[in-house]
């Protein structure tokens, strides 16, 4: 039978692939927004500054602090890459989310198992770039290769996961074809950046056959709850253990933690639940917190569910607050391995 031999979860914020002195490029955009989400409420810039007063200090947003935080993040990615190289899994199961890169408003499945032979990533078109601020596209190299690249997937394992999920009463979506959002809607004609980040940052484009598990964490009304994600993960974990193969399987989660407004208190509570394996507490977390970018924490939850059926235990490499302004906007970044 197959064996789960590796687990890791990591943030994929564009800030990780942006020079610290360029983090401010996004601040002027932040100031114009009126929909900053923080603990279930929406704020304009002045309202956000008021509610976060005292939470973020001047020392947290100096260039020196940004450089230091960025180095810690890069060092953690290097550790995860080394772990991946040392263990050498044969197959990967990668849990990530889609942000209208593969699906659009006409269909947005809660859970999708990608079962095609291959998946393609390619640079943004000029039209797509024109829709995005420089603060975003400057970091494209972190999850998009310089030219169109196709990677092998693993439809046999994907279909095995689907069969187990259906038996476990999860109505998962299935696709054996890559769907590209029409160019008049898309901001990226490749793959969801949650997966591209793992391919580029951990696997260095030497991608092993993999099964992308695509979750709708961002978009109401059909976002699965944290508990549902964990239970789905357990189903995937059991299916891997029951897979008649001698393959070594690595589990990856990409995304999170809190953003675009950082909530350090939530992040630390969330990580504590995972570290201590207090799974019942997942259902006690208010779903209003899991909105916007913070919703990507559910990718960690599903991966934790997969890994809960193994004998691997979580080790937190580090947690950093990537603040880019006194409004607390940025990303809570964390990096973890299961060994």
Quick one: pLDDT band at residue 113, thresholds 50, 70, 90?
Answer: very high
Q: Which residue has the higher pLDDT, 100 or 149?
A: 149
Give me the chain's average pLDDT, please: 94
Res 105: pLDDT: 82
- Contact (CB, 8 A) for 182 and 238: no
d(C-alpha 305, C-alpha 308), whole Å: 5
Edge to edge, the sheet with strand 314-323 lists: 173-175, 111-114, 210-215, 91-97, 248-254, 3-10, 330-338, 314-323
- For residue 236, CA distances in Å to 97, 160, 249 come to 16, 9, 12
Res 184: pLDDT: 60
How wide is the angle at C-alpha 220 spanned by C-alphas 217 and 226, nearest 5°? 40
d(C-alpha 84, C-alpha 159), whole Å: 25
In total, how many domains does the chain have? 1
The answer on pLDDT for 321 being more than 80 is: yes
Res 180: pLDDT: 72
Over residues 114-121, mean pLDDT: 96
- What digits encode the pLDDT tens for the residues 216-241? 999 999 999 999 999 999 999 999 99
Q: What is the percent of the chain where pLDDT is above 70?
A: 97
Res 78: pLDDT: 98
CATH of the domain at 243: 3.40.830.10
The answer on pLDDT for 138 being more than 60 is: yes
Range of the domain at 54: 3-338
- What digits encode the pLDDT tens for the residues 146-176? 999 999 999 999 999 999 999 999 999 999 9
- What digits encode the pLDDT tens for the residues 44-88? 999 999 999 989 999 999 999 999 999 999 999 999 999 999 999
Res 178: pLDDT: 87
Would you say the pTM of this structure is higher than 0.85? Answer: yes
């Amino acid at each position: 039978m197959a064996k789960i031999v590796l687990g890791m979860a990591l943030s994929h914020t564009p800030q990780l692939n942006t020079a610290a002195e360029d983090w401010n490029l996004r601040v002027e955009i932040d100031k114009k927004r009126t929909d900053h989400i923080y603990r279930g409420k929406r704020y304009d810039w002045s309202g956000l500054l008021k509610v976060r007063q005292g939470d973020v200090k001047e020392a947290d947003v100096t260039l020196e602090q940004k450089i230091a935080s960025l180095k810690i993040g890069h060092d953690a990615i290097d550790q995860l890459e080394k772990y991946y190289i040392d263990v050498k899994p044969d197959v990967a199961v990668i849990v990530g989310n889609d942000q209208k890169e593969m699906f659009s408003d006409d269909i947005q499945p809660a859970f999708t198992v990608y079962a095609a032979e291959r998946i393609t990533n390619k640079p943004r078109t000029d039209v797509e770039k024109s829709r995005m601020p420089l603060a975003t596209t400057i970091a494209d190299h972190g999850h998009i290769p310089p030219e169109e690249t196709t990677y092998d997937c693993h439809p046999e394992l994907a279909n095995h996961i689907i069969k187990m999920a259906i038996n476990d009463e999860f109505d998962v979506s299935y696709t054996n074809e890559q769907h590209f959002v029409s160019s008049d809607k898309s901001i990226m004609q490749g793959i969801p950046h949650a997966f591209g980040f793992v391919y580029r940052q951990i696997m260095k484009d030497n991608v092993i056959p993999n099964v992308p598990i695509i979750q709708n964490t961002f978009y109401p009304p059909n976002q699965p709850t944290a508990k549902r994600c964990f239970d789905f993960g357990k189903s995937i974990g059991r299916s891997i253990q029951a897979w008649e193969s001698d393959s070594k399987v690595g589990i990856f989660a990409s995304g999170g933690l809190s953003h675009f407004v950082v909530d350090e208190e939530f992040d630390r509570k969330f990580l504590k639940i995972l570290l201590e394996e207090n799974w019942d507490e997942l259902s006690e977390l208010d779903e209003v917190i899991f909105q916007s970018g913070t919703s990507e924490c559910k990718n960690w939850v599903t991966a934790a569910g997969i890994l809960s059926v193994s004998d691997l235990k979580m080790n937190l490499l580090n947690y950093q607050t990537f603040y880019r302004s006194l409004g607390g906007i940025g990303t809570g970044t964390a990096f973890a391995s299961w060994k």
